[in-house]
Structure 1
Amino acid sequence: MAAQSLSSLLQRASIDDHEEVLQSCNAALAKSKSDLHAQHIKAVALLKLDRYEDCLRVFEEAGDGLKNRAALEYAYALYKCGQLDPAIEVVSRVAGERGALHLEAQASYRSEKFRRAAEIYEELSKDNASLSNEENDLRINSWATDAQLQWKGYPQFVRHSRPMRDDLEAFETVYNAACLSIAKGEFQQGQVLLTRAKELCRTSEDLTPEDRAAELLPIAVQQLYVLLRQGKSEEAQSVLEEISVSDIPELSTKKIAQTNITLARGTTTTNPFALYKALHEIPESTDSDKLFEYQDNLATGNSYSADLLVQKYDGIIRSTSKALAQSGYPSTEPRANLLSVYNAAAHARGETGTKALKRILSALDRRPKDLGLALTAVQLYVGAGNTTSAITTLERTLQLLDESISEQDKAVRFNPGLLSILVSLYKLEGRKVQIRSELAKAATYWQSQSAEPPASLLRAAGASLLHSSDRSDLAKAGDLFKSLYQKDSTDQFAVAGYVASQATIDYSKVESQVDSLPSVADLISGVNVASLENAGISPSSAANAAAAAAMAGARKRSAKGKEDRATKRVRKDRLPKDYDPSKTPDPERWLPLRDRSSYRPKGRKGKQRAAERTQGGVVNEKAEESPAPPTQKAQGGGGGGSSSKKNKKKGKR
């Protein structure tokens, strides 16, 4: 009877009757708690009323029966409550529904699985039959996903380059295209697109005044960031007047806006305590409205920087140590190493140079596998010009990781980014053998893993091994280049490397690949020999000698005359007090006083010594014939008496 009354009610209900539908469902469930149909309708009504937590509670109380029947609604409730991974797991099991793909893409986007989101949007765009009503939404979302891929550090997966005509018709697409340009560092292009997005939003007829004001706020916040990055303070002040932080509903956007406003007002240089207060007065965002990881890392860095300015060293050490203990180290995650850096800065307590390094090394002794601390010490050593100690510090940490039996430690040990730092330090000291050894070990490790090895590391290892005269190293280089070629047959670098590695071992193996390489004529076809000669490169043998000198590190001044050279500026504190620039300085001012032509000795002995030093003066023959006896040095110990006793006058005994 309850189901019949509910069905009759639903037939008469309109889209505005969600409260009435909810009341009827509650009445039906009061009589029969296991009414699956009523539970389903109640969950939908709660979703329509934006009561997502209540809807999720209905699913949990109803059990697996309702979750299986209304899997899409259950996944949507999880998504809106910030439980992104469970939402993706549930919705991925819903097959054959286009709505489920949209929901999975949205949940993947919010959980920062941007590559998966981009794949779903590309799949949805290929269905031309269902594309008509979704084309604009897919275009907007795909641009947003590409912007996040660029910010996240995956530019190779970005599908858009420049906005087309259709992309410039909606302010949402133009705004996302501007975000992509900003992520690439193209701030001027981003500023142009943001201005157009603002104009399109203001002239849109589909928005109410309230919606228009809400859409203009994030555009203005992004525009303020771009102007700050460009150093346009005056324009930033004009945009600042358009932003009302209290009117921003999203906590994440509000936090970004407050940070940019604080920087635009110059609080960082005037009052560090005002900066500290401004950055800490905004409440943290929730799971359903949180910053992306790269945004949260920047916000965390800003917060800790403000703490350092107001000298909250002990608080930083406690909070970062607690967070590091929960996250675990060693780690290559940006957030963990960021915490380590601020932990090191807090240990330094405002000191720099050797004093700061001493305290950081003390902390590194307690946490020798902490990469953030190790890299901070390395940077301080390099800044001081002590590359050898920087290498020793990093090698000590890597050796501990090498000796560990943990797979995580091994993965950190051969991380390409960490390895590139070590290789760069080796290059500064010309340690080619160590470079070749490290790259070879890293390539061997990654080839033994199930995950795809980084191609850039294999390329660097192969190129380094080519400089070895050992046949085993050349064979290893050949294997690396061969694996690269098997994954990408168009990789000319891999083909050239394989030919170079095997040419001296067995030329017959690479004879067929040689023909596939571009000829020397093709490689130098774009070289303008005349322009090179006009620039100063001579075809004679002297040019070869000059090139050899340049390679050896010779430095040559430009061919300007002395009159064209700029006069060297002398600091005022190095000039004498009675310095007069109108007077010509004494050309003999660098000579000792007695060697100057104007020197006139005083007294009888002084005149006599001056006469003896003068060329052509009278020679004292007696002094020449009887040279003075050598002076006896006083020696301590040995039982000998002092020579001073011989010249001592006699006195009373």
Structure 2
Amino acid sequence: MAPQSLSSLLQRASIDDHEEVLRSCNAALAKSKSDPHAQHIKAVALLKLDRYEDCLRVFEEGGDTLKKRAGLEYAYALYKCSRLREATEVLSRVASDRGARHLEAQVTYRSEKFRRTAELYEELAKDHSSIHNEDNDLRINAWAADSQLQWKGYPESIRHNRPTRDDLEAFETVYNAACLSIAKGEFGQGEMLLKRAKELCRTSEDLTPEDRAAELLPIAVQQLYVLIRQGKSEEAESILEEISVNEISELSTRKIAQNNITLVRNTTANPFLLYKDLHATPDSTNNDRLFNFQDNIVLGNVHSVDLLVQKYDGIIRSTSKALSQSPYPSAEPHINLLSVHNAAAHAQGQTGTKGLKAILSALENRPKDVGLVLTAIQLYVTAGNTTSAITTLERSLRALDESNSELDKEVRFNPGLLSVLVSLYKLEGRKLQIRSELSKAATYWQERSKAPASLFRAAAASLLHSSDRADLTKSGDLFKTLYQKDASDRFAIAGYVASQAPLDYAKIEAQVDSLPAVGDLIADIDVSALESAGISPSSSATAAAAAAIAGARKRSSAHKDGRATKRIRKSRLPKDYDSSKKPDPERWLPLRDRSTYRPKGRKSKQRAAERTQGGVVNEKAEEPSAPVQQQKPQGGGSSKNKKKKGKR
């Protein structure tokens, strides 16, 4: 029968003879199309030959029976064809053995669900039933997951800090550790680890010359990026000799290399050459595509050069189409980046008031578009108009507040957007508004499971400065939430004590004892050494010293009765000033109002007499005056008969 002949064939075939296995399976299936054993072996052979689309067709022909029998192989074929959601669903029905968990980790990694990926690798590492050399693979992949977590913005979920001695033995682990340092912004550490990875790769005896060259290329491309970020242009140009873009097999790595090489070679003088170089590499697909944070940077560069060559209509069409297919509003970087380039295309290279006019017009149609709002704010701030920037952002937030959509509320209280508003408020010293916004955001996130700890810390610290009892209570609740997540967080403990001490000191007596004493915190600080080294005293100490000096001066110049003598500068004294003479007390009065004033002349004496109390009253002068009527000219007959005098 077909299964028996196939089994005998497999016993004689070598493990690499997948083509012959495939031919035998086809021959067996030609006699019996529904043979599940032959279908299963054919699917495995196709996977070995990297023919993943053909493998999926076998599973479709085999139906649910084959998919259930070979669930792991089916999920792997879906993963290789970049059908990640379907692969995840299949794996949820597969028995949770080590192979399934390894595959799930790969699927979640490619889906950019890095938290789940890190959890899976941690579970596999704790399970001691590992196979040969699996520990090394787990270590490599765990470092890769941590690197992606840092890029994604989840530093609290990272499980590695510094590479151990075992980590430094394999170039793959060292390379991933370098990527984590680069994601943290530690470019010096990243550069050192990349050099170490390159050295280990060159001296590895497990690699063929072809494999060694293929592994060195991504390391060199990463080195180029680090040198660019550090501004080491000469060293970056020397690295270019090690990079041959056409020899890079992965399209995603090739595109990154082409992007960075173009920047190093400084082709920005001619935007059309820059456009040609950045579009030289085609976009990658399936599992070879760029991650989101990489794609955002590359896409931003491509759209920027499109603006330089004035492809405004093309950018408007492409970005508008992508925005219409994306959720609105959204806090995702790649969506808001599309809005920014769409706004720049509408402005057509104009800046200042003209550019802002075009962007505000687009913002009227999409008032909740975060990318457009941030672009308008940036232009306002650049022009020094912070008030209009705040008004624009508040108008968009008000539109989000009025919505009942959960998506709108999540964008409304997005920590990044909130930080922009708080920064603008700080520029104008609006402390009450800062406290109010942080309080509302903390209230919203307290009801959600994925609450940002950084927002809680900022809100709790801001409410701590309020004198309102309700604000202090809320601040204490936030600090308590932070403490429950991390019992070693001294900031949370100290904040909770500070917030509850004015309300109920007995409630926090136990926490007070757990805080370090002030003397212990400053025990190793030599104040004299700091001052001698050029460190000036704090502002409060300086103010206290100034007050003490001022007080000493006041006490030394005071009268016996305690009143202070006002010190007058010499420049404000008259030239003939004599301190021994008593100044005239009427010197501030007008001359005619002084008691020593004596008018001169008859009219002056008459006015003085009239002003004198008890003098003779002039009755005619007291009569009310009437308007004087204009009189007609007299004599010479009628004015109508008079000839007008001509010009002489």
TM-score by length of 1: 0.80
Deviations 1:286-324 (A, max 9, x none): 112100110111110010011011011111111111111
Pair 1:423-2:401 in alignment = no
Residue deviations 1:473-517, cap 9 Å, x none? 222223323333333333333333333333333333333333333
Deviations 1:264-306 (A, max 9, x none): 21112x2100110111121111112100110111110010011
SS of the aligned residue for 1:497 comes to helix
**Aligned equivalents of 1:24 and 1:541: distance in 2?**
88
Question: Which amino acid letter does the alignment assign opposite residue 398 of structure 1?
Answer: L
Q: How does 1:324-335 map to 2 (within 5 A)?
A: 324-335=323-334
Structure 2 residue corresponding to 1:475, chosen from 470, 473, 476 = 473
Match of 1:517 in 2: 515
Match of 2:147 in 1: 147
The equivalent of 1:486 in structure 2 is 484
SS at match of 2:287: coil
Contact 1:125-1:131 at 8 Å conserved across structures: no
Q: Distance in 2 between matches of 1:298 and 1:482?
A: 39
Match of residue 272 from structure 2: 273
Residue type of the partner of 2:472?
L
| Alpha-carbon distance in structure 2 between the residues aligned to 1:539 and 1:307 | 52
Q: Residues 202, 483 of structure 1: CA spacing in aligned structure 2 closer, same or farther, 3 A cutoff?
A: closer
Q: Equivalent residue for 2:594? A: none
Match of 1:235 in 2: 235
Q: CA deviation at 1:459?
A: 2.2
What is the aligned partner in structure 1 of residue 367 from structure 2?
368
Residues in 1 aligned to 2:103 and 2:190: alpha-carbon distance in whole angstroms: 29
Q: Which moved more, 1:425-434 or 1:527-536?
A: 527-536
2:441 matched to 1:442?
yes
CA separation of 1:241 and 1:494: change in aligned 2, threshold 3 A: closer
Equivalent runs, 1:149-228 vs 2, <5 Å: 149-228=149-228
Alignment of 1:338-357 (within 5 A): 338-357=337-356
| Partner residue, 2:255 | 255
**Deviation, structure 1 residue 382:** 1.1
Q: Would the alpha carbon gap of residues 542 and 170 (structure 1) be closer, same or farther in structure 2, given more than 3 Å must change?
A: closer
Query: How big is the alpha-carbon RMSD for the aligned residues of Structure 1 and Structure 2?
Result: 2.4
Give the letter aligned to residue 442 of structure 2.
Answer: A
Letter of the aligned partner of 2:452 in structure 1? P
Task: Give the corresponding residue for 2:450.
Answer: 452
Per-residue CA distance 1:533-587 (angstroms, 9 max, x = gap): 43475799983346789xxxxxxxxxxxxxxxxxxxxxxxxxxxxxxxxxxxxxx
Paired AA for residue 400 in structure 1: A
Query: Against the structure 1 CA distance between its residues 28 and 272, is the aligned structure 2 distance closer, same or farther, given a 3 Å change threshold?
Result: same
Counterpart of 1:41?
41
1:260-409 alignment to 2 at 5 Å? 260-268=260-268, 270-409=269-408
SS at match of 1:331: coil
State the identity %: 77
| Distance of 2:202 and 2:531 partners within structure 1 | 58
After superposition, the Cα gap between the structure-2 partners of 1:87 and 1:426, relative to the gap in structure 1 and judged at 3 Å, is same
Give the equivalent residue in structure 1 for 2:116. 116
Q: Which segment drifts farther, 180-189 or 413-422? A: 180-189
* 8 Å CA contact 1:139, 1:173 repeated in 2: yes
**Counterpart check, 1:465 vs 2:463:** yes
| Residues 349-398 of structure 1: per-residue CA shift (max 9 Å, x gap) | 11111211111111111111101000111111111111111110000000
Contact 1:533–1:539 (CA<8 Å) still a contact in 2? no
Distance 1:492 1:468 in 2: 21
> Hey, what's the Cα distance between the residues in 2 that align with 1:408 and 1:433?
27
Instruction: Report what 1:619 is aligned to.
Output: none
Q: Distance in 2 between matches of 1:235 and 1:360?
A: 41
How far residue 177 of structure 1 moved from its aligned partner, in angstroms, is: 2.0
Aligned residue-pair number: 553
Q: Which amino acid aligns with 1:439?
A: L
Equivalent residue, structure 2, for 1:66: 66
2:619 equivalent in structure 1: none
Name the aligned partner's letter for residue 505 of structure 1: L
Query: For 2:461 and 2:438, how far apart are their aligned partners in 1?
Result: 10
**Residues 161-186 of structure 1: per-residue CA shift (max 9 Å, x gap):** 23233222222222222222222222
Match of 2:525 in 1: 527
Amino acid in the other structure paired with 2:270: N
Deviation of 1:472 (Å): 2.2
CA distance in 1, matches of 2:546, 2:181: 42
2:554 is matched with: none
Give distance in 2, aligned partners of 1:538 and 1:265.
Answer: 49
Contact 1:59 1:74 in 2 (8 A): yes
Shift of 1:119: 1.6
User: SS state of the match for residue 313, structure 2?
Assistant: helix
State the partner residue of 1:432.
431
For residues 502 and 213 of structure 1, do their structure 2 counterparts lie closer, same or farther at Cα, with a shift above 3 Å needed? closer
- Structure 1 unpaired stretches of 5+: 550-639, 641-649
SS at match of 2:286: coil
Q: 1:48 to 1:512 in 2, by over 3 A?
A: closer
Q: Supply the distance in 1 between the matched residues of 2:491 and 2:540 (Cα, whole angstroms).
A: 32
Give the partner amino acid of 1:53. E
Give the conservation status (yes or no) of the 8 Å contact 1:313–1:346: yes
SS at match of 1:63: helix
CA-to-partner distance for each residue in 1:608-636, whole Å, 9 max, x for gaps?
xxxxxxxxxxxxxxxxxxxxxxxxxxxxx
Instruction: Report the CA distance shift for 1:540/1:313 in structure 2 as closer, same or farther (over 3 A).
Output: closer
Report the Cα offset of residue 452 of structure 1: 3.3
Question: If the length of structure 2 is used for normalisation, what is the TM-score?
Answer: 0.81
CA distance in 1, matches of 2:121, 2:23: 38
Measured at CA, do residues 137 and 482 of structure 1 come closer, stay the same or move farther in structure 2, by a change above 3 Å? closer
CA drift at 1:414: 0.8
Deviations 1:432-487 (A, max 9, x none): 111111111111111233x2322222222222222222222222223323333333
Alpha-carbon separation, structure 1, partners of 2:261 and 2:130: 44
Q: Which residue of 2 aligns with 1:503?
A: 501
- Between the aligned partners of 2:537 and 2:105, the Cα distance in structure 1 is 61
**Gapped runs of 5+ residues in structure 2?**
549-629, 631-644
Report the 3-state secondary structure (helix = DSSP H, G, I; strand = E; otherwise coil) of the residue aligned with 1:130: coil
- The match for 1:606 is none
